[in-house]
Structure 1
Amino acid sequence: MITPERIMAWAIPGFFVLIGIELLIAKWRKRDVYYANDAINSLGLGMMSQIVGVFTKLFNIGIYGWCAVHLAMWTLPANRTWVWISGLLLYDLLYYWLHRLGHEVNVLWAAHVVHHQSESYNLTTALRQTGSGFLLGWIAYLPMALLGYPTEVFAVIALIDLLYQFWVHTEVIGRLGWFDRVFCSPSNHRAHHAVNDRYLDRNYGGILIIWDRLFGSFVEENEDDPPVYGTRAPLQSWNPLWANVEVYGAMLKDSWHARHWPDKLRVWIKPPGWRPADVAARFPKAEFDMCHERYDPPLSKALRTYCIVQFTLLLFIGVNFLDVAPKMAWAPAAGYGMYLLYSLWAIGLLLEGRRMGMWLELLRTAGTAALVAISGRWFGMAHLDARIVVALVALFGISTVALWLLASYERRHGTPVRPVLE
């Protein structure tokens, strides 16, 4: 039987092949579609989402499964084509409303905002996913459970709907005629990601765009008003941990400072950008500037190359985590996951040129080399071949020396390094 795990095993290599093709087409057309720091941040957030998903999948699937077994009026047969087709249509409709509410309710936007933070629009943006969507997102799909769609049908359909949306995150595919009128397409989704007044909060469809036409949220991409990407409260950071919590933090702060109790609640359920009048007066925020400069902290070519190499290695380690973590005991799996989150955090700060990132990354590489050398193990793997141990120790040892030399060179030559906090 087709399982979500098998589908993902097929899909992940395809993602990177298509990213490579998109990059080549953009280069051929002499278009600046990719920026290394932005792509690393988007891919890192996608990895973080997958890491969190390993520990929360049972939360979502478990609730759905319990409701499907105990609350459904009947159970639909999983071996009927009409069940899969109707389930996909129903899921896509429910996704539309969850997605729409994700732009209209602040606490839901706090999770969804991660997907919109990039100021670029390319296939890595598609992989930029939240780590906190599991908290409330499951509620939207309970109607499927109550109508008796089996858990295995729901899980596969959810993944199909998500995977479809990968290819629409590109600027190298133009308008597609009739296809744009029926389906979510690159043109339609470019408008969705834009912060221009014309496009703001439109085109929520996952597979079908007809939901937007039906419920009045459709807008067509206009060549005279090209999309500007990002959010109206720019993230201005490559820190993947901060990307996931920044809106939650802002809501907590506004709720704490609000003088009136109803306002403390409204902060969470009002649309994004809403603030109590007294809070906005005491703690004003700058108006959004459509022409603001792209976030791109200065970084030497050598240090940028180091980050690219280390992140590439992390991608391979992340694939290993996704393979072995479900088979591991909870404690070592959690330790492995925390190691990856720490690594992504360190590289994010390093990309910002922060001194703290330099020290965190040196601690990571040196610590990894030392622990593997001493224990002869990798997370959850009790007996590593001696040659693998030597290779890992050499790899992380060389990384430590290389970063130390880079830091020393940049310090001697006056390369600006940002402080820990600004």
Structure 2
Amino acid sequence: MHAVLLYALPVFGLCMLAEWAWGRWRGRDGYGLADTLGSLSQGLLSQAVAVVTPLFQTGLYASVHARLALLPGTLWHGAFGIVASVVMYDFCDYWLHRTSHESALFWAAHAVHHQSEHFNLSTALRQESLYSVMGAPFFLPMALLGVPTAQYALAGLVVLFYQFWIHTEHIGRLGWLDRVFSTPSNHRVHHAVNPGYLDRNYGAVLVVWDRLFGSFAEETEPCVYGTVKPLASWNPLAAVGQFYGELWRRARATPRLADKLRVLVKSPGWLPPDVAPQDPPIQARLAQPRFNPPAPRRARLAAVALFALTAAGCGAWLWRADDLGALANLAAAGLLTAGLWATGALLSRPA
């Protein structure tokens, strides 16, 4: 899987470059240097976590499939079987995605993907590090139905790659496609913090799940992107840990054990009765300017150079990761994390 992603990266890069150039030409540049590097950093971190947690990527699925599959794998051969497995994966992903917005502990893992206050193709690569680890059980029904592990992995790649193109502001409404598929218009709604848009349009490929289960909203007003409580940092580790820290503070602030547990399982916005709200009123959040503190030109150039070096090293590591031992992969993941943290630190230097 790592090799497939590495082959896809040049295509992603060219698409981002084309989107940036188109936006500049049309006077609608939706990119910011620090934000883009932050999103790409999260994508690299997610790959590092995938390498060091193979059990939660395909290992758990393969184990359940080998022991508990109810139907023969041959049932899923051919074009029909592949399409069916993609639809099944998309259905399971809908419920994982919805749970990740409706349960605080799952939201803590998923929030990384929503932290960008821009919406462009680089946002698609802002993948969550712990999302696949926590979400692995949601796909086990496919194993029980006999979908082979390799086909499960292929379906996951199809769903992942499909979502790349829908992260853009440069494609408008698409008629009947908006009623069936997840499209840029539908997905802009999903990334917005506008009151009517929050927690809507979870479908990765098909938006029909949202229409069936009451979570659909049409795009009717300009979107304001990000999270209700903005990240306001270029530190990639702060991005991963932001909402976990918030849950820790909420749990410590209430003396009742039952409320400490409710903090984890109830909605991300739920607070114990004795904990005062800290998030700004939603109207104030909608009027808030994007986080974009200026950094010195030299620091920005150094950040670009360091990120390029770190990304190249990450690519070389991912190419050989399957042949390395666990300790070597952990060390490589640590070096990658350090390089990305240093990149964020350079972008955070005051002008």
Tell me, yes or no, whether TM beats 0.5.
Answer: yes
Q: CA deviation at 1:257?
A: 2.3
Is it true that 1:351 corresponds to 2:347 in the alignment? yes
Structure 2 Cα separation of the partners of residues 309 and 33 of structure 1: 22
Residue among 11, 20, 23 paired with 1:26: 23
1:196-275 to structure 2, matched below 5 A, reads 196-222=194-220, 225-275=221-271
Residue equivalent to 1:194: 192
- State how 1:150-169 maps to structure 2 within 5 Å: 150-169=148-167
Letter aligned with residue 30 of structure 2? V
Distance 2:260 2:334 in 1: 33
SS of corresponding position for 1:197: coil
Contact 1:76–1:83 at 8 Å: present in 2 too?
A: no
- Structure 1 Cα separation of the partners of residues 36 and 6 of structure 2: 22
Once the two structures are superposed, residues 119-139 of structure 1 have per-residue CA deviations (whole angstroms, 9 ceiling, x without a partner) of: 000000000011111332011
Give the Cα separation in 2 of the matches to 1:138 and 1:63: 8
* Correspondence for 1:75 among 69, 72, 78: 72
List per-residue Cα deviations over 1:72-130 (Å, max 9, x = no partner). Answer: 22322153332212111111111111111111010110011000000000000000011
Q: Does 1:63 align with 2:60?
A: yes
User: Structure 1 residue 27: deviation in Å?
Assistant: 0.7
- Residue pair 1:321, 1:337 contacting (<8 A) in 2 also: no
Q: Secondary structure at the match of 1:8?
A: helix
From 35, 38, 41, the equivalent of 1:41 is: 38
Question: What are the ranges of 5 or more consecutive residues in structure 1 without an aligned counterpart?
Answer: 354-415, 418-422
Percent identity over the alignment?
Answer: 44
Partner of 2:96: 98
Q: What is the TM-score of this pair, normalised by structure 2?
A: 0.95
Residue 140 (structure 1) aligned to one of 130, 138, 141: 138
Q: CA deviation at 1:5?
A: 4.2
1:320 to 316, 319, 322: 316
Instruction: Give the drift of 1:176.
Output: 1.2
Question: Matches of 1:285 and 1:227 in 2, distance apart?
Answer: 19
Q: Which amino acid aligns with 1:171?
A: E
1:377 is matched with none
C-alpha distance in 1 between matches for 2:108 and 2:72:
35
Question: Aligned to 1:15, which of 12, 16, 24?
Answer: 12
Amino acid at match of 1:287: P
The residue correspondences of 1:376-391 to structure 2 (distance < 5 A) are: none
Post-superposition shift, 1:6? 4.8
What is the alpha-carbon distance in structure 1 between the residues aligned to residue 99 and residue 330 of structure 2? Answer: 32
Q: Report which stretch shifted further, 324-333 or 163-172.
A: 324-333
Match of 1:122 in 2: 120
Contact residue 229 and residue 279 of structure 2 kept, 8 A: no
Residue 180 of structure 2 aligns with an amino acid whose one-letter code is V
Name which of structure 1's ranges 179-188 and 4-13 shifts more when overlaid on structure 2: 4-13
Q: Is the 8 A contact 2:228 2:279 kept in 1?
A: no
Q: 1: CA distance between counterparts of 2:2 and 2:113?
A: 23
* Distance in structure 1 (CA, Å) of the matches to 2:39 and 2:23: 18
> How many pairs are equivalent?
348
Whole-Å separation in 2 of the counterparts to 1:307 and 1:9: 22
- What amino acid does structure 2 have at the position aligned with 1:294? R
Cα distance in 2 for partners of 1:313, 1:172 equals: 31
Q: Deviations over 1:376-415 (max 9, x none)?
A: xxxxxxxxxxxxxxxxxxxxxxxxxxxxxxxxxxxxxxxx
Where relative contact order (Cα < 8 A, 6+ residues apart) is larger, the structure is: 2
Name 1:287's counterpart in structure 2: 281
RMSD over equivalenced CA pairs, Å? 1.5
Q: C-alpha separation between the residues in 1 aligned to 2:168 and 2:318?
A: 27
Q: Could you tell me which amino acid in structure 1 is paired with residue 96 of structure 2?
A: L
After superposition, residues 296-375 of structure 1 pair within 5 angstroms as 296-353=292-349
5+ long unaligned stretches in structure 2: none
What is the deviation of 1:58? 3.2
| Inter-partner Cα distance in structure 2 for 1:134 and 1:352 | 29
| 2-structure distance, mates of 1:285, 1:176 | 35
Check conservation: 1:205, 1:212, Cα contact below 8 A.
yes
Q: Normalised by the size of structure 1, how large is the TM-score?
A: 0.80
Structure index of larger Rg: 1
